[in-house]
Structure 1
Amino acid sequence: MTRSLFRPARLAALGVFALAGLIFWVSFNTAQGTNIRSDDSMLRLSDLIQERSRKNEALDSSAASLRRQVDGLAQRDDGSTSAQKRELGDLEKAAGTRKVSGSGLSVTLDDAPTNATAKVPGLPDPEPNDLVIHQQDLQAVVNALWKGGAKGIKIMDQRLISTSAVRCVGNTLILQGRVYSPPYKVTAVGDPGKLRETLDSAPAIKNYMEYVDAYGLGWKVDEHKAVTLPGYSGTVDLQHAKPLE
């Protein structure tokens, strides 16, 4: 009986050692003698993303210039009445494709220092996620500014429209094909008092401010007597998924 029990256990142990050897061999073959943790492939990927972002910025600028020329020619030769042109201008302003100027404010959010500790006695030391700006933080600011009656909003140097998506991957922002790193600046045109009021009353921002006080996340609000936001210059074509047949 003892020998019959020992045999399966011994076979299982040999199987574990064999599996471990296979894992070590696969790891060695993948690394090819390099340190996987310090492999510069991730650095190359980051450089590629930044390069594509710069190309997208240049293409956006070129497309915006061509669009202005096309719009100018169309308005000159379309035979529209003055009333129709005013209506078109109002629609373009509402869509965010024309620049908008006026008083407003800007909100700047930034990551906390990587070596930050709890600033309030009794709080635990922060986790890495406690020290970075998240997608919901930027969305909370944008939503509060719209609620406060903003006539237009831009993040960094890009105007937001109804189809703009604020997405964060790690500690970087991806907005309309371009990549940004913190600090992130959100600028709105509107009544500064109403905009600040909705910022102060938003529950999601109140939660963010707790982390500002606890761990040193960046938060700065500046009012502006005059600010100009550019018109959105990207494509306005709606994109949607199609099922495979």
Structure 2
Amino acid sequence: MTGAHEAEGRPLHSAPDGGAKPPRHHARRSLAWRIGTPTVVLLSGALFAVSAADSGGTDLRPGRYTDLASLAEAEADDVKQLQARARDLEQDIDRMSENVRSFRVRTTRHEVERLHDPAGLTPRTGPGLSITLSDAPDDLFEDARDAGASGDVLRRYVVHQQDIQAVVNSLWRAGAEAVVIEGQRVVSTTGIKCEGNAVQLQGVPYPEPYDIEAVGDPTALLSALDSDPIVAGYRADAADPEIAIGWDVETEQQVEAPAFEGLVDIRYAEPLR
């Protein structure tokens, strides 16, 4: 019977006193719980501490916006806060600037104010010249084209940017205090460019005729126009009845030159060394 019993079940290990031993895995499980439980608690506490430090008191996983209106409202609030912050900073800068009393700062400010006028940032009035450039009459241009005139000849019937630039440069050389083209004050950064059948000034296209005004000594200005070779060639075409490109000069007792109102910053140019 003993042999049959051992064949049907697992044999029991005998203890020294002849009794059965309890299973060993129960002891190992108790030891794992005693060690593992404090370890998990410590790790959880460390994670909570790290999360609190990273969040800075905010939610690390904020709720999602449920609609576009909520998102727009939140973004608008952020913008208002940033704008308010910017205004505060500007006020701080103004207060700090007012408190600056150094000799160097005062000298620099006076120099900037002195340069406003020659830079074209203040209006000027006085005697000067009024000049008008215009294309040749259409019938003369068409007659020349029908007669088979070359492209170089046909270009003489139209006002180009170099014609305007030649007039303006000669006025500057004569000591003009201010120059205006189509009502815009000319400064050192003013660009004149041909664009199709118009001329662009500061990026704005203007059709002919082109009105140029200058404040300065009329006698000196006229003398400069007479001596400029490019202007002389233009005036020769104006005097030619077969071309008759437009040229008109008037002496003015009062020319008004408004202050330049465009951008004066040079963002991409670098000084020559």
Amino acid at match of 1:115: D
180, 185, 191: which is aligned to 1:159? 185
101, 114, 119: which is aligned to 1:90? 114
Equivalent runs, 1:79-228 vs 2, <5 Å: 87-116=111-140, 127-214=153-240, 215-228=243-256
Amino acid at match of 1:89: E
Bigger relative CO (Cα 8 Å, ≥ 6 apart): 1
Q: Report percent identity of matched pairs.
A: 38
Q: Which ranges of structure 2 fall in alignment gaps of 5 or more residues? A: 1-93, 143-147
Task: Look up the SS of the partner of 1:195 in the other structure.
Answer: helix
Task: Look up the SS of the partner of 2:249 in the other structure.
Answer: strand
Change (3 A) 1:128 1:114: farther
- 4+ residue runs over 2 A deviation: 77-90, 124-128, 239-242
* TM-score relative to the length of structure 2: 0.54
Q: Is the 8 A contact 1:102 1:228 kept in 2?
A: yes
Aligned mates of 1:90, 1:175 — CA distance in 2: 26
1:231 aligned to 2:259?
yes
TM-fit CA distance, 1:90 = 2.2
Change (3 A) 1:234 1:125: same
TM-fit CA distance, 1:240 = 2.2
Change (3 A) 1:85 1:203: same
Q: Which ranges of structure 1 fall in alignment gaps of 5 or more residues? A: 1-73, 119-123
Cα deviation per residue 1:63-110 (whole Å; 9 max; x = unaligned)? xxxxxxxxxxx8xx8578998776443210011111111111111000
Cα deviation per residue 1:30-55 (whole Å; 9 max; x = unaligned)? xxxxxxxxxxxxxxxxxxxxxxxxxx
Give aligned pairs, total: 164
RMSD (CA atoms) = 3.0
Aligned mates of 1:133, 1:178 — CA distance in 2: 17
Aligned mates of 2:176, 2:234 — CA distance in 1: 21
Aligned mates of 2:223, 2:261 — CA distance in 1: 30
